[in-house]
C-alpha cells in the first residue's frame, strides 16, 4: 500500500472511528499531501523509510508561520502514530521530535458595549426574516460559547424549554445536554414561536429552506461586523471568546468555564485570564494580608 493510500485510510479512520471533524480532516489531508510531495521529491515512497531526520528536515525547511509549522507537525505525528499502532511501521519517527513552541495569544473578544452594538446593528440593518434568525444566532453564540459546527447542526427538537436544556453534538460525536440560561430561554421562546418548525427540522435555515451552512454563518458574522464598524474583525470565534470572558468577569471559576466551553485542557481555558491591569490592581488592593488598624 503506497503512502497516499495510507493517508486516505488514516483520514477515514480519523473521521469514522475517532469522531474527528471534517474540517480538521481536511486540514490533516492537506498537510499530509504536502509532506508526501516532499517525500516524493526525496525519492521516499515507503513509510518504513521515513526517519526522524526526514521529518525534521521537512519541518525545518518550511517557510511558514510557527503556528502553521506546529499544525504540520501535529498532522504528521498523528499519521505516524496511527501507522505504528496498525503495524505499518516498526517505530514511530515522530515520537522524539522536538516540540514547536507556539506563542500564546490573548483571544479577541467583545466588551458588553460592543456586543450590544453588534445586536443593535442586526436589528437596524437587516430584513425581518434575517433579523429574527440572525439575532437568535448571535445571542446563541454569546450566551453558550458553542462552536460554529455545533450550532449549525442543531435541530428544533434539541431545544427543551421545559427542562431548560440544549442537546449539542460535541467533537468526537459526543452528545451532551447543556443548561439554557434564563435569558436565552426567553430568546428561544420568541424565536421558536416565530419559525414554527417541526422537531426534526434545522434550528437555523437559509431563505431557501436549507440548513444554514457553516460558511454562511462565517459570512454573516463578518458582514455584521463590518456594518457595526468593527472592520470585519469580529468572527464566530470572537463570540465564543466573548462568552468565556463574560463568565470569567462574572467570577465563574475556571474549571466551570472549562466544562461549559468543552476545553480538554485547563491550559486552553487559562487564555481567558486577560483581565486588565487596572482591574487586577483594584481586586488585589482589596486583599488584606494583615489586620488593618
Q: Which domains does the chain have, with CATH numbers?
A: 3-86 (1.10.150.130), 112-277 (1.10.443.10)
CA–CA dist 39, 62 (Å, integer):
14
Q: What pLDDT band is residue 171 in, cutting at 50, 70 and 90?
A: confident
> What pLDDT digit, counting tens, does each position of 47-75 carry?
999 999 999 999 999 998 888 999 999 99
Q: Which residue has the cell 465564543?
A: 240
Dmax of the chain from CA atoms?
80
**Reported pTM:** 0.60
Q: Is 177 helix (H, G, I), strand (E, B) or coil?
A: strand
End-to-end CA, the chain: 80
Pairing assessment for the beta strands 165-170 and 159-160 based on DSSP bridges? antiparallel
- Grid cell at residue 228: 457595526
Average pLDDT over residues 158-177: 88
Q: How long a stretch of residues is the chain?
A: 293
- Is it the case that residue 29 has pLDDT exceeding 60? yes
Q: What percentage of the chain's residues is helix, strand, coil (to nearest 5)?
A: 60, 5, 35
> What pLDDT digit, counting tens, does each position of 233-280 carry?
788 888 888 888 788 777 777 777 777 777 665 555 555 555 444 454
CA–CA dist 71, 84 (Å, integer):
20
∠ at Cα 169 (166, 170), nearest 5°?
110
Amino acid at each position: 500500500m503506497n503512502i497516499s493510500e495510507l493517508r486516505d485510510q488514516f483520514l477515514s479512520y480519523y473521521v469514522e472511528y475517532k469522531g474527528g471533524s471534517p474540517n480538521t480532516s481536511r486540514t490533516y489531508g492537506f498537510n499530509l499531501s504536502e509532506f508526501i510531495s516532499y517525500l516524493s521529491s526525496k525519492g521516499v515512497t515507503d513509510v518504513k523509510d521515513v526517519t526522524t531526520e526526514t521529518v525534521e528536515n521537512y519541518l525545518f525547511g518550511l517557510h511558514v508561520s510557527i503556528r502553521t509549522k506546529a499544525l504540520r507537525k501535529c498532522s504528521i505525528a498523528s499519521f505516524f502514530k496511527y501507522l505504528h499502532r496498525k503495524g505499518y511501521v516498526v517505530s514511530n519517527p515522530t515520537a522524539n521530535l522536538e516540540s514547536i513552541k507556539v506563542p500564546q495569544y490573548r483571544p479577541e473578544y467583545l466588551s458588553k458595549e460592543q456586543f450590544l452594538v453588534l445586536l443593535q446593528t442586526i436589528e437596524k440593518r437587516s430584513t425581518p426574516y434575517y433579523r429574527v434568525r440572525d439575532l437568535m444566532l448571535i445571542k446563541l453564540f454569546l450566551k453558550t460559547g458553542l462552536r460554529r459546527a455545533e450550532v449549525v447542526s442543531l435541530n428544533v427538537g434539541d431545544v427543551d424549554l421545559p427542562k431548560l436544556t440544549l442537546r449539542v453534538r460535541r467533537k468526537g460525536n459526543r452528545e451532551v445536554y447543556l443548561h439554557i440560561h434564563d435569558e436565552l430561554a426567553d430568546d428561544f421562546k420568541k424565536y421558536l414561536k416565530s419559525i414554527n418548525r417541526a422537531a426534526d427540522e434545522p434550528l437555523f435555515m437559509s431563505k431557501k429552506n436549507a440548513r444554514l451552512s457553516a460558511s454562511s454563518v462565517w459570512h454573516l458574522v463578518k458582514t455584521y461586523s463590518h456594518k457595526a464598524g468593527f472592520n470585519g474583525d469580529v468572527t464566530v470565534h470572537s463570540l465564543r471568546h466573548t462568552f468565556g470572558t463574560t463568565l470569567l468577569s462574572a467570577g465563574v471559576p475556571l474549571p466551570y468555564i472549562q466544562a461549559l466551553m468543552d476545553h480538554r485542557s485547563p491550559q486552553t481555558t487559562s487564555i481567558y485570564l486577560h483581565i486588565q491591569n487596572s482591574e487586577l490592581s483594584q481586586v488585589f488592593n482589596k486583599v488584606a494580608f494583615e489586620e488593618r488598624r
